[in-house]
């Protein structure tokens, strides 16, 4: 949901995602009136989420790695020599 244009969100939601947004400028009223008039409502957001979930294939769940890499405990970028 974006209370402005959805530009920039498309790369996050992807081609199958749905944006609920106000795609133009110039309307003047309270936020509640504008949102209702232009369909930025809880129902619209819920429907967009339902549609996205129903139309997007599930991603496979990766199997755990048999030999996970140890988590590093320090970073050379933070060592005193680099400060």
Residue 83: its pLDDT value, please? 41
Most distant CA pair in the chain, distance: 60
Please indicate, yes or no, if residue 8 is contained in any of the structural domains: yes
73, part of any domain:
no
pLDDT band at residue 43 under the 50/70/90 scheme: very high
Q: Is 60 exceeded by the pLDDT of residue 79? A: no
48 found inside a domain:
yes
Query: Using an 8 Å Cβ cutoff, are 3 and 35 in contact?
Result: yes
Q: Which residue has the tokens 């139309």?
A: 55
- Domain count for the chain: 1
pLDDT at 69: 64
- 17, part of any domain: yes
**Exposed, middle or buried by CB within 10 Å (0-12, 13-18, 19+), for 52?**
middle
Q: What is the pTM of this model?
A: 0.52
Per-residue pLDDT at 68 exceeds 50? yes
- For residue range 46-59, list pLDDT tens digits in order: 998 888 888 887 77
75 is a domain residue: no
Report yes or no on 79 lying in a domain: no
Q: Is residue 81 part of a domain?
A: no
Assess if residue 83 is contained within a domain: no
Section 6-21 average pLDDT: 80
* Full residue range of the structural domain in which residue 3 is found: 1-58
């Amino acid at each position: 949901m974006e209370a402005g244009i959805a530009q920039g969100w498309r790369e996050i939601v992807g081609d199958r995602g749905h944006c609920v947004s106000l795609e133009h400028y110039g309307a003047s009223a309270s936020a509640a009136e504008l949102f209702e008039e232009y369909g930025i409502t809880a129902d619209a957001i819920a429907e967009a989420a339902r549609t996205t979930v129903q139309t997007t294939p599930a991603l496979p769940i990766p199997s755990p790695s048999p030999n996970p890499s140890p988590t590093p405990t320090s970073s050379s970028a933070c060592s005193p020599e680099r400060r």
